[in-house]
């Protein structure tokens, strides 16, 4: 044996993952999403007609249907607007009306949309069992 030789220990590899940087990145992303989420436009962009109608006030979770100038139908149940055809609109609105017969249904038609598209939409809603339909518009600029 050699008395002066240093004793060497075998170093074991570290089997731990440092997660602190991952938590920092996750928190930064969470803050970014929390700031940008309210800024997202979840509706369909339509140019509403202008008129002097009075506001309906606060509605309890209304059901919005947007009709574009090309006659496309978008159903917005609160989450996001979803492109639907006439048959799907009738099925989904019928299910909603069966759960809540007093649901407010509001049509937002583009001011350039043909009246035929608006009329067809009201007919489809009537088939779905909707008792009353409201129309969305904008106040004219002062």
Mean pLDDT over each residue of the chain, to the nearest integer: 80
Compute how many other C-beta atoms are within 10 angstroms of the C-beta atom of residue 105. Answer: 20
Q: Residue 97: which CATH number?
A: 3.30.420.270
Q: Is the pTM of this model over 0.75?
A: no
Residues 133 and 95 sit within 8 Å (Cβ to Cβ): no
- 113-138 b/e (C-beta count within 10 Å ≥ 16 → b): beeebbeebbebbeebebeeeeebee
Element spanning 74, H or E: strand 73-76
How many domains is the chain partitioned into structurally?
A: 1
**pLDDT, position 11:** 72
User: Is residue 2 domain-resident?
Assistant: no
Q: Residue 131 pLDDT more than 80? A: yes
Domain residues for the domain of 125 are 63-135
Residues 56 and 137 sit within 8 Å (Cβ to Cβ): no
Q: Residue 108 pLDDT more than 60? A: yes
Summarize pLDDT for 19-64 with one digit per residue, the tens: 888 888 999 999 988 888 776 655 666 666 666 665 555 556 788 8
User: Is residue 45 domain-resident?
Assistant: no
**pLDDT, position 60:** 67
């Amino acid at each position: 044996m050699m008395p002066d030789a240093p004793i060497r220990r075998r170093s074991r590899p570290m089997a731990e993952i440092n997660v602190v940087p991952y938590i920092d990145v996750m928190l930064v992303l969470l803050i970014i999403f929390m700031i940008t989420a309210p800024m997202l436009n979840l509706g369909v962009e339509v140019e509403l007609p202008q008129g002097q109608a009075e506001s309906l006030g606060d509605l309890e979770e209304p059901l919005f249907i947007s009709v574009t100038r090309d006659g496309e139908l978008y159903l917005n149940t609160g989450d996001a607007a979803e492109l639907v055809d006439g048959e799907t609109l009738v099925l989904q609105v019928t299910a909603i009306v069966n759960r809540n017969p007093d649901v407010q249904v509001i049509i937002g038609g583009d001011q350039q949309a043909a009246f035929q598209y608006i009329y067809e939409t009201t007919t489809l809603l009537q088939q779905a069992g909707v008792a009353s339909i409201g129309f969305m518009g904008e106040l004219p600029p002062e």
